[in-house]
Structure 1
């Protein structure tokens, strides 16, 4: 039987190889080589986040965990960044969204998106240093939450611990997180190197 309260370490362990693959697939050195490559990355991310967040937003129960999904949505930042870069979001393909049948599944998927926000701080600094885009102009997505990143991550982790009260729920969360990493990896891979 799975001991209660260990969801965070089980998630980290269960997703580690998928997370590492996503970081490798992201290939920041290449995707931040110039503004055209950066715009292609933002467009690809927009095509992934918009349908996924739409599916996540239809799930009920976040409020019972003191989470406001609308506060955690980041797709609008990608749309705004694309506008700053001179592109419309409909220029880019859309990733088919997963089925999100439950709050547990949604939380597993959100674990991936919320965790990515932590890495976004470092990427935001890289984008500004290499390309000159700032959170106010072209790099809002990677700077999501601003100085609230740590507090938002802590609140999300606490909600996961409160929600994952059975082995079945823990498994559901982990399976959804792994699936999200795998979908993300496939989505980036399918873009090839097209601008």
Structure 2
């Protein structure tokens, strides 16, 4: 049986995804350590990625076929969460996303963002159990509609599953994970 595009993306990006999950926030969460400082670190790293990624998405993915790209933009919510933590959000390097230069690669980038929305919901449920009072609007994704929005994205993904755009989508997802990994390892932020 031929794997779906979603399965190909998951299999191809798994090593990068696992490396990204090895970060100060996830370590603190696993070790039961205080979470406020690592959480501040996580959001401050996610902001330049999210802001740059969304800017690229709006430029490359047209509002077609009933898919609302602008609705998926959440950098403003992340910005507000950071301000509530007393952190002034910093934009990232405007050239970080230059490799994502086609609609296909942008769909791969969107795969990473949409997956992070699902992951954010999981993290917010863990944070809520730890009785923290941290701002979590960004982690809540689309709230109660996160699962249905993920399904809508999967539908979009499968509509573009043919070659050569399939290869571009996978390439864009790999590029996105590599960009996020660079941001996570940037010690100057």
Structure 2 length-normalised TM = 0.86
Q: CA deviation at 1:165?
A: 2.1
Structure 1 counterpart of 2:40: 39
Distance 1:86 1:120 in 2: 21
Residue 158 of structure 1 pairs with residue 155 of structure 2: yes
- SS of the residue corresponding to residue 130 of structure 2 reads helix
SS in 2 for 1:64: coil
8 Å Cα contact 1:66-1:159 kept in structure 2: no
Which of 14, 22, 26 is equivalent to 1:28? 26
Aligned-residue offset at 1:153: 0.5
Please tell me whether the aligned partners of residues 25 and 38 of structure 2 are also in contact (alpha carbons under 8 angstroms).
no
Shift of 1:71: 0.7
Deviations 1:75-123 (A, max 9, x none): 1111010121122214xx6244312322111100000010111111111
Counterpart secondary structure, 2:162: coil
Of residues 9, 12, 15, the one that matches 1:14 is 12
Q: How many residues align?
A: 183
Cα distance in structure 1, aligned partners of 2:125 and 2:187: 25
- Normalized per residue, the structure richer in helix is 1
TM-score for the superposition, normalised by structure 1: 0.84
- Any idea what the Cα deviations from partners look like across 1:31-73, whole Å, max 9, x if unmatched? 7734233222211111221122112211142x32321111111
Per the TM alignment, residue 26 of structure 1 is displaced from its structure 2 partner at its CA by 5.9
Q: Which one is further off, 22-31 or 38-47?
A: 22-31
Offset of 1:9 from its aligned partner? 1.7
The answer to which of 66-75 and 122-131 deviates more is 122-131
Q: Distance in 1 between matches of 2:7 and 2:24?
A: 24
Q: Which moved more, 1:175-184 or 1:28-37?
A: 28-37
Which aligned pairs between 1:162-177 and structure 2 lie closer than 5 A? 162-166=159-163, 168-177=164-173
| Shift of residue 129, structure 1, vs aligned partner | 3.0
Match for residue 52 of structure 1? 53
Q: Which structure ranks higher in relative contact order (CA pairs < 8 Å, sequence separation ≥ 6)?
A: 1
**CA deviation profile, 1:4-36 (whole Å, cap 9, x unmatched):** x83122111111111111212364233773423
